[in-house]
Amino acid sequence: MTMSIKELKGKDMLCLKEFTPEQVKYLIELGLDLKRRYHAGERILNTLNGKSIAMIFEKPSTRTRVSLEVAAYQLGAQPITLGWNELQLGRGEPIKDTARVLSRFVNGITARVKNHNDLIELANYADIPVINALSDLSHPMQVIADYMTVYEKKGKFKGLKLAFIGDGSDNMVHSLMIAASQLGIDFYLGSPKDLKPNNEIFKAAKSFAEISGSNIVITEDPLEAVDKADVVYTDVFVSMGQEDIAEAKKKLLKPYQVNVKLMERANNNAIFLHCLPAHRGEEVTDDVIEGPWSAVWDEAENRLHSEKAILTSLIP
């Protein structure tokens, strides 16, 4: 790890486009190191001893909530888990007021929100780091865990091809694309033309790719996207909050299911990733997620170690 942790102390994590490639690599390397130490028996680190972290959840969560609480505990910090409607936010208190009050009580905020702009406002008014635990635009903590898993399985980033199959406007697409372009991984998106990535995210990824030498390719053909891929990734067809358009999206995305036929177009040693929860029989078949390609359980475990890396690096 070539950079110093001091460079990240006090920094918000809203979207990885606001991080340098070196900072992203540092968090991945630190996560891998913390995982090795964890499995060697070093479970309690106390690097944030005496600190408190407010963890706001506007959306339901399994992996993010549990891993964040355990991560904070293992770092010696006190996690304070707060539902949106448990706070005065649920009764109409301005986000900026909540941000300023929490800044007087705790050392950091993680927030899982419906609207990314709410996260930006929270960060603008908070005097402490605000960390995105999922928004409609991005999911940076998940992607640090994802690329930890890729490195564990492949031992490198440069020269790899990652194919995302499904909704091109998905928050995971945005975060995976940005990080791939920072790490020198070729990113292929197989998605319907009506579901395009956020243009600002796409432009940022292209800029990073010019420096790292990676390629970003968008195609409507899932077979083309996955051809000779080293990593195949998908996410649910219908994200939380999209229930009103669920049937239309499922119909549009039906040809983009990751199944055995699709995986057989990837490299022989390809791995399959999914941020979970998975809707088996929709975006992925059971024989893929339970099959020899699947690395989703290692990926899920890596949420714990990636979040320890993020919290210990960002919270002063």
Instruction: List domains and CATH numbers for the chain.
Output: 5-138+303-314 (3.40.50.1370), 142-299 (3.40.50.1370)
Q: Is 97 helix (H, G, I), strand (E, B) or coil?
A: helix
The predicted structure's pLDDT at residue 246: 82
pLDDT tens profile 71-80: 999 999 999 9
Q: What is the pairing mode between strands 130-132 and 78-83?
A: unpaired
Residue 237 main-chain phi, psi, to 5 deg? -70, -35
| Contact of 3 with 120, CB cutoff 8 Å | no
pLDDT mean over 233-261: 89
Q: Is 218 helix (H, G, I), strand (E, B) or coil?
A: strand
pTM: 0.96
Q: Which one of the listed residues 74, 235, 257, 305 is annotated catalytic?
A: 235
Other C-beta atoms within 10 Å of 123: how many? Answer: 20
The predicted structure's pLDDT at residue 6: 72
pLDDT mean over 126-133: 98
Where does 155-216 have alpha helices with state H? 171-183, 199-212
Decide if pLDDT at 285 tops 70.
yes
End-to-end CA distance of the chain: 19
CA dist 147 → 140, 150, 201 (Å) = 11, 5, 18
pLDDT class of 87 with cuts at 50, 70, 90: very high
Q: What is the pairing mode between strands 216-219 and 186-190?
A: parallel
Q: Which one of the listed residues 139, 174, 274, 305 is annotated catalytic?
A: 139
Return mean pLDDT, the chain.
96
235 catalytically annotated: yes
| Contact of 313 with 27, CB cutoff 8 Å | yes
139 catalytically annotated: yes
Q: Which one of the listed residues 142, 170, 182, 230 is annotated catalytic?
A: 142
pLDDT tens profile 296-305: 999 999 999 9
pLDDT class of 3 with cuts at 50, 70, 90: low
Tokens 């995976």 sit on residue: 176
Tokens 């080293």 sit on residue: 230
Decide if pLDDT at 138 tops 80.
yes
Copy the structure tokens of residue 54. Answer: 């407010």
The predicted structure's pLDDT at residue 4: 58
CA dihedral 311, 146, 115, 248 (to 10 degrees): -160
Whether the upstream peptide bond of residue 277 has omega within 30° of 0, thus cis, is yes
Q: Is 206 helix (H, G, I), strand (E, B) or coil?
A: helix
Task: Fill in the DSSP letter of residue 215.
Answer: -
303 catalytically annotated: yes
43 catalytically annotated: no
Q: Which one of the listed residues 146, 174, 257, 275 is annotated catalytic?
A: 275
The predicted structure's pLDDT at residue 46: 93
Other C-beta atoms within 10 Å of 278: how many? Answer: 19
pLDDT tens profile 186-240: 999 999 999 999 999 999 999 999 999 999 999 999 999 999 999 999 999 987 6
| Contact of 168 with 239, CB cutoff 8 Å | no
Residue 83's contacts (CB-CB under 8 Å, 6 or more residues apart) are 56, 57, 58, 90
275 catalytically annotated: yes
On the CB side of 4, how many CA atoms lie within 13 Å of its CA? 3
Distance CA 13, CA 28 (A): 14
Decide if pLDDT at 7 tops 90.
no
Q: Which one of the listed residues 15, 74, 112, 182 is annotated catalytic?
A: 112
Q: Which of 258, 309, 316 is nearest to 282 (CA)?
A: 258
pLDDT mean over 154-178: 98
The predicted structure's pLDDT at residue 128: 98
